[in-house]
Chain A
Amino acid sequence: MLLIPCPHCGPRAEVEFRCGGEAHVVRPAEPESASDEVWRDYLFVRKSPKGVHFERWNHAHGCQRWFNVARDTVSDEILAVYRMGEAPPEVGR
């Protein structure tokens, strides 16, 4: 069971949360002129590192707010938690 420190509520059990996948994926700035390849990268292509992953989580059964987590995909260790809009911290890189 992961113990996830929600930045708003503190440490809570994994079952209260939903994972929203990779964080910091940016929507094309000019949708009208974006190419098929740009849309593909935005919609479908994802980072899948063996190691530190920056991802979004939602405290669905708590405050319901979104936030970012830096987590190791092998050990499951949570290395940092930070708010939406903040830049990814320098961890394990």
Chain B
Amino acid sequence: MRYSIINVLKQGLAGQKGWQAAWRDATPKPQYDVVIVGGGGHGLATAYYLAKLHGITNVAVLEKGWIGSGNTGRNTTIVRSNYLLPGNEPFYEHSLKLWEGMSRDLNFNVMFSQRGVLNLCHSDAQRDAYARRGNAMLMMGADAELLDADQVRRMVRGLDFQNPRFPITGGLLQRRGGTARHDAVAWGYARAASELGVDIIQNCEVTGFVRDDDRITAVETSRGRIAAGKVGLAVAGHSSLLAEMAGIRLPIESHVLQAFVSEGLKPWIDTVVTFGAGHFYISQSDKGGLVFGGDIDGYASYAQRGNLPVVEHVAAGAVALFPALGRVRLLRSWGGVMDMTPDGSPIIGKLPIGNLYMTGGWCYGGFKATPASGWCLAHTIANDAPHALNEAMSLERFARGRAIDERGAGPRPNLH
């Protein structure tokens, strides 16, 4: 059923009895043309674009828990396309454009709110770096504005401009950036994919692959063996484990990232502010909670919870930037397991087995990439070749010396 004002009114008069489940909770068939492993935003988006743009509808999405139970439902929902390098920026700008049309395309309100993303700077050197990044963004078709301290002061209240260690000298603003409702992204893609015939199968963990020479013929799952024409991996923090089942070693280490939400407050901050120098960023959810986070814990982890030193560090960053936050109470904190790559950039493309593909290595920034990641993986699977937008993000790049290292931090997964 289409979601529309007409149907809201009709159902209102009919006692809300006619709504159907948003998507079918399917049971596995013996065979699919394409099996996608992982029912997060990326896996569901891949299935949707396979069906919608490439006419491949005999598709299953296999999810070990429930859809959106991984990082989709754990992230801080920041969407932006403020990257520097040519291998990254066109991809993220394409993603941002897909976000701008997503609610309409999926007929599902993902609450995409273009409230702006502001990166603060604290020194001339950092300001120069932001000017360069902003120019690169403009050259590649995105929007960017360099603000001085006064413009920042007019835009965000409560900032401490007098901090002697990190005085605020300005910031790089992307007005088209913002936030979205994370669960809605999973549900919206699931509903739209399901309507096109995709089977979404929950509580179905992939435990191995059946191989015939250079091809995968089936996946072993907790709900039995399922034959597959092609297989796409979209398992976020677990890419290296799934690849290992297929005998492939990846340049990925899994790490935990934490996030936090405060008690609900009246509208207090209407944009996204990042304080990179202090490892802290913040926005406010529509429910009123301040949603914030910082850096990864720093050592390999599959625990979906973090450690206390980072909690303290993030809290310190929070009150250094916004002293008033010292009075706010924390409601919850949690962690998610993420693939960290040695250059901080993702891998979308073919793997060294004929019919195996992946999207992964998203580090702390894959929510914003959800639509374009699915779009590119679907293209790569359908054509058995990458799209120009994800060509640079191949696994091959690590053997060819073509790392995409935005941060220039070198090959250490825990530094990106």
Contacts and interface: CB of A to CB of B under 8 A. Distances in A.
Interface of A: 1-2, 14-15, 18-19, 21-22, 36-37, 39-41, 43-48, 50, 53, 55, 71, 73-76
Contact of A45 (B249, B298, B301, B400): B249
A44 B241 contact: no
Closest A-B pairs by Cβ, 10 of them: A44-B251, A19-B299, A48-B240, A40-B399, A44-B398, A44-B342, A50-B302, A36-B399, A48-B253, A46-B253
Nearest to A38: B399
Contacts of B251: 40, 44-46
A21 B253 CA distance: 9
Nearest to B342: A44
A71 B342 CA distance: 21
A43 B342 contact: yes
Interface residues of B, number: 28
B398 A40 contact: yes
Secondary structure dominating the interface of A: mixed
Given A44-B251, A48-B300, A74-B302, 5 more contacts: A19-B298, A21-B412, A43-B411, A44-B411, A45-B251
A14 B308 CA distance: 10
A55 B309 CA distance: 20
B76 interface: no
Most buried by A among B252, B299, B342, B413: B299
Given A21-B414, A43-B342, A73 B252 contact: no
Contacts of A39: 399
A46 B411 CA distance: 11
B307 interface: yes
B303 interface: yes
B382 interface: no
B390 interface: no
A72 to B, nearest CB: 9
B399 A53 contact: no
A73 B307 contact: no
A48 B399 CA distance: 19
B210 interface: no
Contacts of B283: none
B159 interface: no
B250 interface: yes
A82 B241 CA distance: 27
B412 A48 contact: no
Nearest to A42: B411
8 contacts: A15-B309, A18-B298, A43-B398, A44-B342, A45-B250, A48-B300, A73-B300, A74-B303
B303 A76 contact: yes
B254 interface: yes
B299 A37 contact: no
Contacts of A48: 240-241, 250, 252-254, 300
Contacts of B250: 45, 48
A76 B412 contact: no
A53 B303 contact: no
Nearest to A19: B299
A46 B252 contact: yes
B312 to A, nearest CB: 9
B239 to A, nearest CB: 9
B301 A1 contact: no
Contacts of A46: 251-253, 342, 413
Given A19-B298, A55-B300, A73 B254 contact: yes
A22 B403 CA distance: 20
A14 B399 contact: no
B340 to A, nearest CB: 9
Given A44-B251, A45-B249, A75 B307 contact: no
Given A40-B399, A48-B240, A22 B253 contact: yes
Contacts of A37: 399
Most buried by A among B249, B302, B413: B302
Contacts of B298: 18-19
Interface string B379-416: 00000000000000000001111010000000111100
B241 to A, nearest CB: 6
Given A19-B299, A45-B250, A14 B413 contact: no
B241 A50 contact: yes
Contacts of A50: 241, 254, 302
